[in-house]
Amino acid sequence: MRWGVITFPGSNDDAQTAWVLEHLLGESVVRLWHKDTTLDDLDCVVLPGGFSYGDYLRCGAMGRFSPIMRAVGEFAAAGRLVLGICNGFQILCEAGLLPGALIRNRGLSFLCQRVRVRVENAESAFTNRCRHGDVLDLPIKHGEGCYVADETTLQAVEAGRQVLLRYTDTEGRVTPGANPNGSLGAIAGIRNARGNVFGMMPHPEHACERLVGGEDGRKIFLSIMAAAGVTAEPVSSKVVSGP
Amino acid sequence: MDNMRWRALVYVTPKDGILDPQGKAVQQSLQALGYPEVGEVRIGKYMELKLADVSRESAETRVREMCERLLANRVIEDFRFEIEAIT
């Protein structure tokens, strides 16, 4: 399948994302600049992590007005797959492609650590290579990852099973201590109602090789490949994998 | 009149009910400094925009639009603004 990875000014996980897709998963990747205006012939486009436009005003607030975002909006409206990771998630929220917003972490500090997230819905285009309740071990690195939305929106996303990942402890339990940033509902990743746009704060692209501490991140990319009709290599069925 | 210059003072604040960890930290610091009367602290943003070649009416319409489209995120923030003539 053909992936597009967008580089915004200030993106810093674009190369890592492309590395995982090309070199670890053998996929075809088109590197896109934020000033590009078309997403022709792509099956999935990734908005990577980083600090687009220096996080000025609000994280993702300027990135959403990059020329390529018009194409991303049309791509999403056509039902194609869009993945936003960290800053990419923030941009998708700012663009209104995902509900809610991401604000400063509850504890104010920038967090760079491993977290566990539980798969809440394994029937999505982004998690179908996981099992319901799987606990993934992924890193986070963000200052503004606290997911918020109004009560009506929260009820709608829960009812629609749009929450795909939730912060938990190693046993898959939602506890205050396991929620690193204060996200409402311990939400770590959420998809749109239609199911083709997904944003997550943890970084799957930084968890695809044992060398860097784990391979759980592959499951997200392999799920997307499965959803796009690409035969993917089998994924280990173990519930928790550590370093 | 159309050629007047204006200054828009824009205030963006966290919506009621939205967690404001910065405000909370500042509130605790103020209390620790001996100001127990300080209740909730909410921290927002103040922006000054200079506008030219528009009427006051148009400036108000357009600044409102700027707030809605970029300066504030209505999911988490409220905004208000004042427009004054630059003399």
pLDDT digits (tens, 9 = 90+) for A153-186: 999 999 999 999 999 999 999 999 999 999 999 9
Domain that holds residue B77: 6-85
Which residues, 6 or more positions from A161, have their beta carbon under 8 angstroms from its beta carbon? A120, A121, A123
Q: What is the pLDDT of residues A108-131, one digit of tens each?
A: 999 999 999 999 999 999 999 999
Interface of B with A in 28-67 (CB under 8 A): none
Does A243 have pLDDT greater than 50?
Answer: no
Q: How confident is the model at residue A213 (pLDDT cuts 50, 70, 90)?
A: confident
Which residues in chain A are closer than 8 Å to B25, comparing Cβ atoms? 108
H or E segment to which residue B32 belongs: helix B21-32
Question: What pTM, to 2 d.p., does this model score?
Answer: 0.92
Subunit contact B25:A93, Cβ cutoff 8 A = no
CATH number at B49 reads 3.30.1280.10
**A108 closest CB neighbour out of B22, B75, B76:** B22
Does A232 have pLDDT greater than 90?
Answer: no
Residue A44 known to be catalytic: no
Does A237 have pLDDT greater than 60?
Answer: no
Does A97 have pLDDT greater than 80?
Answer: yes
Residue A209 known to be catalytic: no
Residue B1 belongs to a domain: no
Mutate to test the interface with B, among A89, A98, A148, A153 (most CBs of B within 10 A): A148
Higher per-residue confidence, A230 vs B38: B38
Instruction: Give chain B's domain count.
Output: 1
Does A229 have pLDDT greater than 90?
Answer: no
Residue B58 belongs to a domain: yes
Listed as own residue / partner, the contacts of A219-223 with beta carbons closer than 8 Å and 24 or more positions apart are A219/A127, A219/A129, A219/A130, A219/A134, A219/A136, A220/A83, A220/A126, A220/A127, A221/A20, A221/A21, A221/A25, A221/A27, A222/A25, A222/A129, A223/A124, A223/A125, A223/A126, A223/A127, A223/A128, A223/A129, A223/A130
CATH 3.30.310.50: does it fit domain A2-227? no
